[in-house]
Amino acid sequence: MNIGFIGTGKIASSIIYGIFKSKLKITKIYISSRNRNIAKKLHLKFRKVKICNNNQDIINFSNIIILSVTPQVGLKILNHLSFNSSKTVISLISTIKLHDLKRLIGSSKVCKAIPLPFIENRLGPIIISPKNKVAKKLFSKLGSVIEINNEKTSYSFWSTSSIMAAYYEILNSTTNWLVRKKIKKKIATNYISELFLAYTQDALIKKNLGFKKLVKESQTPNGLNMQVLKELKKVKFYDKFIKSLNNVHKRIKR
């Protein structure tokens, strides 16, 4: 199997690291030279990674082509490339619709996927839309695949994938608060990392209970958890959070 990446940014790099941590049988991975630092690092680390200066070469040499460029770059370059209809194209571009992708590349053998950077460690859910056997075979070795046939439904998953930076900022803010309380940075970072990991693992184990019940069970009358939740609700923290998701959703479905 030969895989080609048009665009070599953070998410493409994360997928490649995940591939080499998996049991996928890869002959070659062809990558773009657009981000020279990332491309050089990947080439030096993995002997099966080859840098191409020409995007058409990436397509010609690969069985699977992964589009990992920004929407602006995608609209600029894709219709100048020739895609063989026998190849599978997987787009990671959030705001280019499937019908537009098919028109741009002149092929119907295309799907969209939503991996996130922790795919590097073969973690997390990966949305594929529509169902695609080749994409599923690839990504099922790198995380938990969820197939969505309706593209409009996939927009909601794209929207929720946008909360990653906001989530990390909660960890960052909480860690910095501990540091201001004279806790050493290393200890604070370790504690917050382990604390939020435990929260997430507990939620996963108890997912059948439903998150609403977990919210209720994590509070005691007039307790500390109840205080923080009430104060956040009072300033409409969660309302603003949902508003942000709605705004992202509107941007994606345009």
Residue 107 has pLDDT above 90, yes or no: no
pLDDT band at 164 (very low <50, low <70, confident <90, very high): very high
Q: Is residue 157 part of a domain?
A: no
CATH at residue 62 = 3.40.50.720
Q: Is residue 215 part of a domain?
A: yes
Question: In total, how many domains does the chain have?
Answer: 2
Q: Is the distance from CB of 85 to CB of 107 less than 8 angstroms?
A: yes
AA letter at 240: K
Distance (Å, whole) CA 53 – CA 51:
7
Which residues lie across from 6 on neighbouring strands?
A: 67
Q: Are residues 27 and 56 in the same domain?
A: yes
Residue 204's domain spans which residues? 163-253
Please state the pTM of the whole predicted model: 0.88
Q: Are residues 83 and 128 in the same domain?
A: yes
For 106-140, letters b (16+ CB in 10 Å) and e give ebeebbbbbbbbebbeeebbbbbbeebebbbebbe
**pLDDT at residue 108, rounded to an integer:** 82
pLDDT digits (tens, 9 = 90+) for 15-45: 999 999 999 999 999 999 888 899 999 999 9
**pLDDT at residue 20, rounded to an integer:** 97
Q: Is residue 154 part of a domain?
A: no
The arithmetic mean of pLDDT across residues 53-82, rounded, is 94
AA letter at 149: N
The arithmetic mean of pLDDT across residues 160-184, rounded, is 97
Distance (Å, whole) CA 157 – CA 154:
5
CATH at residue 217 = 1.10.3730.10
The last residue of one of the domains, among 149, 181, 210, is 149
**pLDDT at residue 208, rounded to an integer:** 96
